[in-house]
Structure formats: C-alpha cells, structure tokens
Amino acid sequence: MVYLHEGWEQRVLHRDIKASNVMLDGDMIGRLGDFGLARVHSHGWAGATTSVVGTVGYMAPEVVREGRATDKTDVFGFGVLVLEVVCGRRPIGEDGSQPLIEWVLGLMEGGDLVSALDPWIRRTREYDEEEVTRVLKVGLLCTCTDPMTRPSMRGSESAGGDA
C-alpha cells in the first residue's frame, strides 16, 4: 500500500481493503488484489465520489459521511484488517456482539488488550504478548475516527516494528 499511495507518479486509492482482497503468495507474503473499486488520482488531490463504495465494516466513517476517499480511508481499512486477523473476528458484530473496533478499544481501555487475541492462538500459548499488544495498537491507531490521527502506510510500517 505504500507503493500505491506514494511510490508511483500518481496515487492509487484501493477503497476496498479487506481480508478477502488479500492473497498470500508462496512465501506467505500478503498481496492486495481486486482493484475493481480503485481510483487513480494526482498526489495532493482528494477525490469526492457521488456514491459510497466499499464493504461495510471496513469503510472509514468519513467515507460514509462525506463520500470522500483518501489514503487515510485505505489506512482505516488496513487497520480493520489487522484487527480482524489478530482477533479472529469479523468487523461487524455477529449475533448481537459488539463491533470489532469497539470491542478491542474497550479491552484496551480496561487494560486487557491481549484478551482480544484469537482464542485459538491464545490456547497454543505460542505468542509474544508484547508483540500482540503492539500489533493491536497499530490496528487501533489506523482505525481512529479522526483521519488526521491515522498514520500513513509508511507510518504504519514503522509503528508496528516487526509487525
């Protein structure tokens, strides 16, 4: 995503970052796919759309309110993806459960962030609690409601350390 946002002569906004659009190659490295909703813009230009597009649960609040996609809306989707993978839960609350971001945020505020880790992984006891906490915090930072608070994808790389 750093390349899409910064590495080319124009900026590509994917607009639909989600688990089903990430494929793993032979080395288990994630590759972003399905560019059907993507838009190409000049750097520094924020495009407004006439319709809200994306997948519920992965769309940044400002996309729903204003219909405007930016690199920060892709960062939001990336943050939801990170939380989904680490927690093993869908972004939208299922069977009346709390939405993923709210649930993880509540655990962090309660001082029990590591409880958000996927129960299957927790049972194996083969994880680094500090690393899990750091990755969950990166996911939460990327999903801040204020887009100006979210890091760039380059910032997400450094914020996560080895994550």
16 given a catalytic annotation: yes
Angle at CA of residue 95, ends 94 and 97, nearest 5°:
65
Q: Which of 16, 27, 71, 95 is catalytic?
A: 16
Which residues are the active-site residues?
16
